Amino acid sequence: MAEFGISAGHFVAVVWDNSSPVEALKDLVDKLQVLTGSEGRVSVENINQLLQSAHKESSFDFILSGVIPGSTTVHSAEILAEMARILRPGGCLFLKEPVETTVVNNSKVKTASKLCSAMTLSGLVEVKELEQESLSPEEKQSVQEHLGYQSDSLLSVQITGKKPDFEVGSSSQLKLSIATKSSPSVKPALDPAAAKLWTLSANDMEDESMDLIDSDELLDPEDLKKPDPASLRAAPCGEGKKRKACKNCTCGLAEELEKEKSREQKSSQPKSACGNCYLGDAFRCASCPYLGMPAFKPGEKVLLSNSNLHDA
């Protein structure tokens, strides 16, 4: 028992079938319960009910199947896969199964190697044959009864398998180091033959007949993708166009904006020096009638024609 490695706190499943003597099963369960203690748990499952029970994945540290003395349990691929599923990563399966030693086609009883590969295919790793022993007359009888199979070349084999250290569907980042040379001096020397070829080619720029590679072939499907439209938007910024007063505003917009701002934290206010909006468009406020016209000298008469006043 101790050879299974079961100890306190472990969750163990004992799988039995009709071939398992009831007394022996009870015996095993009791012993396991002592081992696992109050923190652990021992579940008992009939092999034919296992799939229906639909245990949560990664529920058990150990599964013991067909190990009850006298059992002649045969494990199907489905059962093995289910066992692998409900084992936690790193958990162990111990099973015992009668196997054929001679190759018989379409036999209900597998050979030992077939059994091992069945376990591997169901997702278990470190599949190892622990021991083989011959069947007792009762066990041989049991095989005949429960499996309807008779043969003189049967053996009983004990095999162990482990669930890998990761659960199905888990992911982990690969550490790829993209070699960026940290110093310019760590560069291979330029091969003189390569340098010569390059030089010869570069000195013959006019030659149109040289073969070119197809540059389209350099691109992979990622390159052909267009950027996600959401990535092309600027960060949203409050109102649309900001109303701005010119530095020397005389039209009253500056005062209005100042009233609006006075509720918020103080920020830089435009100077309210007296002056005309003779400065260019860069300094004019949004409602200035001179917008669109060049700067002019203060005091210079600028006639606003009708078209100025009606312009969009």
Partner 1 sequence: MPLPRLLVLFGSQTGTAQDVAERLGREARRRRLGCRVQALDSYPLVNLINEPLVIFVCATAGQGDPPDNMKNFWRFIFRKNLPSTSLCQMDFAVLGLGDSSYTKFNFVAKKLHRRLLQLGGCAVLPVGLADDQHDLGSDAAVDPWLRDLWEKVLTLYPVPPGLDVILPGVLLPSKFTLQFLQEAPRTCFEDTQARVDPKGPPSELQPFLAPMVSNKRVTGPSHFQDVRLVEFDITGSGISFTAGDVVLIQPENAATHVQRFCQVLGLAPDRYFTLQPQESEISCPAQLPQPCSVRHLVARYLDITTVPRRSFFELLACLSPDELEREKLLEFGSAQGQEELYEYCMRPRRTILEVLCDFPHTASAIPPDYLLDLIPPIRPRAFSIASSLLAHPSRLQILVAVVQYRTRLKEPRRGLCSSWLASLDPGQGPVRVPLWVRPGGLAFPKTLDTPVIMVGPGTGVAPFRAAIQERVAQGRIGNFLFFGCRQRNQDFFWEAEWQELEERGYLTLVTAFSRDQEQKVYVQHRLQQHGPLVWDLLDRQGAYFYLAGPL
Residues that bind partner 1 (CB under 8 A): 180-184, 187-188, 190-191, 193-195, 197-199, 201-203, 205, 208, 210-213, 215-216, 218-219, 223, 226-227, 231-234, 241, 247, 279-283, 291-295, 308, 311-312
**Cβ 176 to partner 1 shortest distance, Å:** 14
CA angle 198, 202, 204 (to 5 degrees): 125
Residue 57: CB atoms within 10 Å: 17
**Cβ 269 to partner 1 shortest distance, Å:** 14
**Cβ 204 to partner 1 shortest distance, Å:** 9
**Cβ 300 to partner 1 shortest distance, Å:** 13
The nearer residue to partner 1, 131 or 211, going by C-beta atoms, is 211
List residues bridging with 15 in a β-sheet.
Answer: 45, 65
Q: Give yes or no for a contact between 21 and 70, defined as CB atoms under 8 angstroms apart.
A: yes
Distance CA 22, CA 29 (A): 11
Between the two ends of the chain, the Cα-to-Cα distance in Å is 94
Sheet holding 41-46, edge to edge: 41-46, 11-16, 60-65, 87-100, 154-162, 125-134
**Cβ 287 to partner 1 shortest distance, Å:** 14
Distance of CA 160 to the CA centre of its chain: 30
Closest of 9, 121, 7, 142 to residue 68, by C-alpha: 142
The nearer residue to partner 1, 4 or 283, going by C-beta atoms, is 283
**Cβ 200 to partner 1 shortest distance, Å:** 9
The nearer residue to partner 1, 131 or 214, going by C-beta atoms, is 214
Half-sphere exposure of 146 (CA within 13 A, CB side): 17
Tokens at 46, concatenated:
């009939």
Going from the C-alpha of 195 to that of each of 33, 78, 92, 192, 201, the distances in angstroms are 77, 63, 61, 5, 10
| Helix, strand or coil, per DSSP, at residue 140 | helix
The nearer residue to partner 1, 173 or 215, going by C-beta atoms, is 215
**Cβ 228 to partner 1 shortest distance, Å:** 10
The nearer residue to partner 1, 134 or 203, going by C-beta atoms, is 203
Distance CA 96, CA 15 (A): 11
**Cβ 203 to partner 1 shortest distance, Å:** 6
The nearer residue to partner 1, 242 or 263, going by C-beta atoms, is 242
The nearer residue to partner 1, 173 or 182, going by C-beta atoms, is 182
Distance of CA 282 to the CA centre of its chain: 53
The nearer residue to partner 1, 57 or 281, going by C-beta atoms, is 281
The letter for the amino acid at 93 is L
Distance CA 204, CA 199 (A): 9
**Cβ 177 to partner 1 shortest distance, Å:** 14
Residue 179: CB atoms within 10 Å: 7
The nearer residue to partner 1, 174 or 232, going by C-beta atoms, is 232
